[in-house]
């Protein structure tokens, strides 16, 4: 079975070609692979009757999840090269995604429409998704409060802050990740709006921790910022590991993510 180690803006993946060999890792095996290959997520490519591939995703902690934007771009690059097509379709648990080549060797993925109902996130009860009732720290002077929430096929809470470097994300992220308001956990974004076309973002990922980039997190931050009129509907997201351009298209309500993909190595096991 072929295995690729790839990254999208530094977000690292171990990708297993399970289209002709079964790959059903246990939770402990996922955790071990993530550790050995220094991967944030493990991905299995599986045969799909209608799409170019079915993409199964596990976080480094072994939990299976429904969406991973940067991995989708990596898988897109592999399939575009393999098929010679100019567009490939990728089925995940959450949606059918489309990947295609952009300028300068970048890859664009159509990540579908953001979901904004409190049950879609999901939240533990009905709240205003533009700012949910979550406070972290002293009640009278919380360090973090009222994140905006959205789902990109996975749950995201985005705190808009003056300076992302003022926050100890490794300490604060876990306090939000499993906060009771988020029954399925949540990915935690710390977003600093630089101007109407630029956001600096760091993400504590559910099940993976502080990563160099988070694709669905970048989509979530842009959607929450544009929804709150803090930015335009297209912006450059500056992450620790690189830059992603996110566009929330008005015409079809779909979110397009463009960014770099790197193949670190490939091997057979
Ligand atoms: N940690 C996320 C999955 C991976 C998201 C991220 N790596 C991306 O590129 O979207 C979750 O539990 O929903």
Q: Report the pLDDT value the prediction gives residue 158, as an integer from 0 to 100.
A: 98
Per-residue pLDDT of the chain (269 residues; tens, 9 = 90+): 999 999 999 999 999 999 999 999 999 999 999 999 999 999 999 999 999 999 999 999 999 999 999 999 999 999 999 999 999 999 999 899 999 999 999 999 999 999 999 999 999 999 999 999 999 999 899 999 999 999 999 999 999 999 999 999 999 999 999 999 999 999 999 999 999 999 999 999 999 999 999 999 999 999 999 999 999 999 999 999 999 999 999 999 999 999 999 999 999 99
- Residue 227 is predicted with a pLDDT of 98
- CB 173 near ligand 1, within 6 Å: no
Q: Is the CB of 215 under 6 A from ligand 1?
A: yes
pLDDT score at 2: 98
CATH topology of domain 135-252: Diaminopimelate Epimerase; Chain A, domain 1 (3.10.310)
Predicted pLDDT of residue 75:
98
Nearest CA to ligand 1 atom 4: 68
Q: DSSP letter string over the chain?
A: -EEEEEEETTEEEEEEE-SSS-----HHHHHHHHHHHT-SEEEEEE--SSSSEEEEEEETTS-EES--HHHHHHHHHHHHHHH--S-EEEE-SS-EEEEEE-GGG-EEEE----B-STTTTT-SS---TTS-S-EES-TTS-SEE--EEEESSSEEEEEE-S-GGGS-HHHHHHHHHT-TT-TT--EEEEEEEEETTEEEEEEEETTTEEES--HHHHHHHHHHHHHTTSS-SEEEEEETTEEEEEEE-TTT--EEEEE--EEEEEEE-
Does the C-beta of 69 come closer than 6 Å to ligand 1? yes
Predicted-complex ipTM score: 0.95
Ligand 1 center to 71 CA (angstroms): 9
What confidence score (pLDDT) does residue 41 get? Answer: 98
Residue whose Cα lies nearest atom 3 of ligand 1: it is 68
Q: Where in the chain is the domain with CATH 3.10.310.10?
A: 2-112+259-268, 135-252
Give yes or no for residue 237 CB within 6 A of ligand 1: no
How confident is the model at residue 230, as a pLDDT? 98
Q: Is 209 annotated as a binding residue?
A: no
Q: How much is the pLDDT for 219?
A: 98
Q: Is 2-112+259-268 in CATH node 3.10.310.10? A: yes
The pLDDT score that the predictor gives to residue 137 is: 94
Separation of 186 CA from ligand 1 center, angstroms? 10
Residues with a catalytic annotation lie at 68, 214
Residue 150 alpha carbon to ligand 1 centre in Å = 13
259 lines ligand 1 (CB under 6 A): no
Ligand 1 nearest-atom number relative to CA 72: 9
32 labeled binding residue: no
pTM of the full structure: 0.98
Q: Please check if 11 is assigned to a binding site.
A: yes
């Amino acid at each position: 079975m072929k295995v690729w180690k790839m990254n999208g803006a530094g977000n690292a993946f171990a990708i297993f070609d399970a289209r002709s060999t079964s790959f059903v890792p246990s939770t402990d095996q996922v955790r071990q692979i993530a550790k050995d290959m220094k991967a944030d997520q493990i991905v299995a490519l599986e045969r799909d009757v209608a799409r170019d591939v079915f993409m199964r995703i596990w976080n480094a902690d072994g939990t299976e999840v429904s969406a991973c934007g940067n991995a989708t771009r990596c898988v897109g690059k592999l399939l575009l090269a393999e098929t010679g097509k100019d567009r490939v379709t990728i089925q995940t648990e959450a949606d059918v995604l489309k990947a295609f080549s952009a300028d300068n060797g970048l890859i664009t993925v159509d990540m579908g429409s953001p979901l904004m109902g409190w049950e879609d996130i999901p939240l533990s009860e009905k709240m205003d998704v533009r700012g949910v009732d979550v406070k972290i720290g002293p009640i009278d002077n919380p360090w973090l409060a009222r994140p905006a929430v959205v789902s990109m096929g996975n749950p995201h809470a985005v705190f808009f802050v003056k300076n992302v470097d003022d926050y100890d994300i490794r300490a604060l992220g876990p306090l939000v990740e499993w906060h009771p308001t988020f029954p399925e956990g949540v990915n935690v974004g710390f977003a600093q709006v630089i101007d109407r076309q630029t956001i600096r973002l760091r993400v504590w990922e559910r099940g993976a921790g502080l990563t160099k980039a988070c694709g669905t997190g970048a989509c979530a931050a842009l959607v929450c910022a544009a929804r709150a009129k803090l930015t335009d509907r297209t912006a450059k997201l500056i992450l620790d590991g690189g830059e992603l351009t996110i566009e929330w298209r008005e015409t079809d309500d779909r979110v397009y993510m463009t960014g770099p993909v790197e193949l670190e190595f490939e091997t057979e096991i």
